[in-house]
Amino acid sequence: MAKRSLRHTIRSMDTIITVVAMPIAIMLLFVYVFGGSFGSMFQTGPVKYIDFIVPGIVAMTVVSGIAYAAVRLNMDLQKGIINRFRTMPVASSSILGGHAVSSVLSNLFSVLLVIIVAIIAGFRPQADPMEWLLFVGLATLFTLATTWLAIMFGLLGKTAEGAGSFSYILLLLVFVSSAFTPTDGMNSVVRAFAEHQPMTPIVETLRSLLTNGTAGDSAWAAVLWCVGVLVVSYLLALRIYKTSSSPKNVGGYRQALGSGPA
């Protein structure tokens, strides 16, 4: 199942390019247009502004990319391909897991591209190999958690566009966090929200690993948020899949078979 999903991803490299293009464009805009003003206005300290925002851009890249997992899964549902798999001796977790593995790998590749562009633009991480390993581990956990959230919405969506639209909420959480500005300068109400939602500890931990060489005080909160979202989304996705998995009529199934290989 993972191979099938990866083949579809490789065939549509324009998807990865699209996912990477928006975060890179925002990063370059903030650094080269607003960077000087933001860096002094929000007092990012000894950390250059590009070093400050790259972890937030990484989070944005993941959030943008996982929407395509929801879209692809929903398209498989609409075409009857999922119903075909349901008639085979394949575990439910394997069918959904294939989409999850493909999403994680493609999104980590997108993150790599973003970091390469950031380094070209002046990003200078201070992490040693162990911190890089922890960074990759947290980025993978974050991607896996949000991917299963995407899979859940992919199963619930009536259309592919509707299934992917949930990512706008996650993008809003990225913007209303410490991704682009420290929370100290925010309005008290906005600051309270920003400091108690999942994106802030995740971004703060990624930033600490890359710039300070430590996991930071927010590491446990970041891991707990990711694990919590992962467990809840995984269980709900499996439940939704099983409770709504009665195959369509034989005619519809035959039509799906006649549509060619997935």
Which of 103, 93, 11, 120 is closest to 65 using CA atoms?
103
Distance (Å) of CA 240 to CA 151, 154, 182, 226, 245: 10, 10, 39, 21, 8
User: What type of residue is 13?
Assistant: M
Contact criterion met (CB below 8 Å) for 15 and 103: no
Is the dihedral angle over the CA atoms 25, 26, 31, 32 positive or is it negative? positive
User: How much is the pTM?
Assistant: 0.82
Longest dimension (CA), the chain: 66
Is the dihedral angle over the CA atoms 124, 128, 132, 138 positive or is it negative? negative
Question: Rounded distance, CA 36 to CA 23, Å?
Answer: 19
Q: Is residue 262 part of a domain?
A: no
Q: Which domain holds residue 17?
A: 2-257
Number of domains within the chain: 1
pLDDT by residue for the chain (262 residues), tens digit each?
Answer: 445 555 555 556 666 677 788 888 888 888 887 766 665 555 555 568 888 999 999 999 999 889 888 888 888 777 776 666 666 656 656 778 888 888 898 899 889 999 999 999 889 998 899 999 999 999 999 999 999 999 999 888 888 788 888 889 999 999 999 998 888 888 899 999 999 999 999 999 999 999 876 777 899 999 999 999 999 999 999 888 888 654 443 344 334 434 444 4
Q: Is residue 26 part of a domain?
A: yes
pLDDT the model gives residue 9: 55
